[in-house]
Structure 1
């Protein structure tokens, strides 16, 4: 469990909270209790069938994402335009801070896009703080539909306010649900909500089969990781 990341998250949501006498000690104790639900991310098991080079949770999850996303495409029906490894040209230009062309988009490698995925999808969605299987689902949906939507769907599943912002209250609600009903149940509910979202999209006629296959494959990988 990345305690510093969790403490930073709480500090961002409630500035000054650590000035309250005993707050750090109390919260640290709560994290000890949460450790029985949230596995240590320092040495997680890699996703079934995957083998990230560094063996960490993010690397294993990213391997699943990149398998879904595939290589270079420029689909005229996709508003994203030029896309490689799931990264659109607009997103890549924003990340590198300059304009790029087709040649650079075609040349993207997993090593090049890894920092973007970690910062703007893995951490932005709170997936790095979640149990491994559920974290994979949220990460995958964040990549596919945006971090805010991925978080909002998670919040709806666990009964938190669906504001699309991952904070300490959302984390607490998730951990409580995982403890109460089990991670596989939370995964199943989340993935069912994802499927419902895909079925409402106007381009479902063209991309629906692929979206549902992706959802099913992510569910299978996530359940293999779940406690």
Structure 2
């Protein structure tokens, strides 16, 4: 999760060629993400382990074992030695990272189905903290808006408060739709509530793991950029 990293070695032209294979919206989101994440870094304090382009060793080892090309080998065992280690993180390319972003986060979270910038915020926080964590942030933001609707606006037809469980089901989608349609709420209320939930999550990480304090300033800056 560290934001301190070396710049990606590939030039902007390489990134532009890579993202043409995807939707325009994903291309915009992934360009922004690559500017934040940078290149290879192996910070011993980063709980995700060695990271490159925002892809951590912990993530790659747990989710990079798929075989989409059907050759009988894990696609991201890049050195083909039978396991996923820091050597594979070092070998990860921009195009490989973008493929993982799209497959494991953008598609898995169905970001394209959410209005901007909701999908983009889910994507950013999914990469940074995990898919379930990103959905929990959205659920907390929705709940904050629902509480305001009841307490300040007397909205008797507001949906029930969501269980913050990280599940992106019908109840969450219905409540999100209600918040977005409600005249005094909408994106103007939901986006700041999502940012606040992200800031709270980062501060909670530092409370539980004081060694992560050095990353807090960068994390809070990242939270403040959500939805912009």
TM over 0.5, shorter chain:
yes
Aligned with residue 168 of structure 2, among 158, 166, 189: 166
Aligned with residue 199 of structure 2, among 195, 202, 208: 195
Q: Which has the higher contact order (CA 8 A, sep 6+)?
A: 1
CA distance in 2, matches of 1:204, 1:90: 17
- Structure 1 residue aligned with 2:52: 84
Please show how residues 133-172 of structure 1 align to structure 2 within 5 Å: 133-159=117-143, 160-172=162-174
- Structure 1 residue aligned with 2:180: 178
Normalising to structure 2: TM-score of the pair? 0.67
Which stretch of the first structure deviates more once superposed, 101-110 or 140-149?
101-110
- Structure 1 residue aligned with 2:106: 122
Aligned to 1:172, the other structure's residue is in SS state helix
Normalising to structure 1: TM-score of the pair? 0.67
- Structure 2 residue aligned with 1:11: none
Cα distance, 1:86 vs. partner? Answer: 0.7
Task: Specify every segment of 5 or more residues in structure 2 that has no aligned partner in the other structure, as ranges.
Answer: 1-14, 66-73, 78-82, 144-161
CA distance in 2, matches of 1:205, 1:144: 16
Please show how residues 22-61 of structure 1 align to structure 2 within 5 Å: 53=20, 56-61=24-29
Cα distance, 1:195 vs. partner? Answer: 0.6
Contact kept in structure 2, 1:57 and 1:132, CA below 8 Å: no
Contact kept in structure 2, 1:191 and 1:215, CA below 8 Å: yes
Aligned to 1:162, the other structure's residue is in SS state coil
Task: Specify every segment of 5 or more residues in structure 1 that has no aligned partner in the other structure, as ranges.
Answer: 1-49
Q: Deviations over 1:41-75 (max 9, x none)?
A: xxxxxxxxx97545522221111112111100000
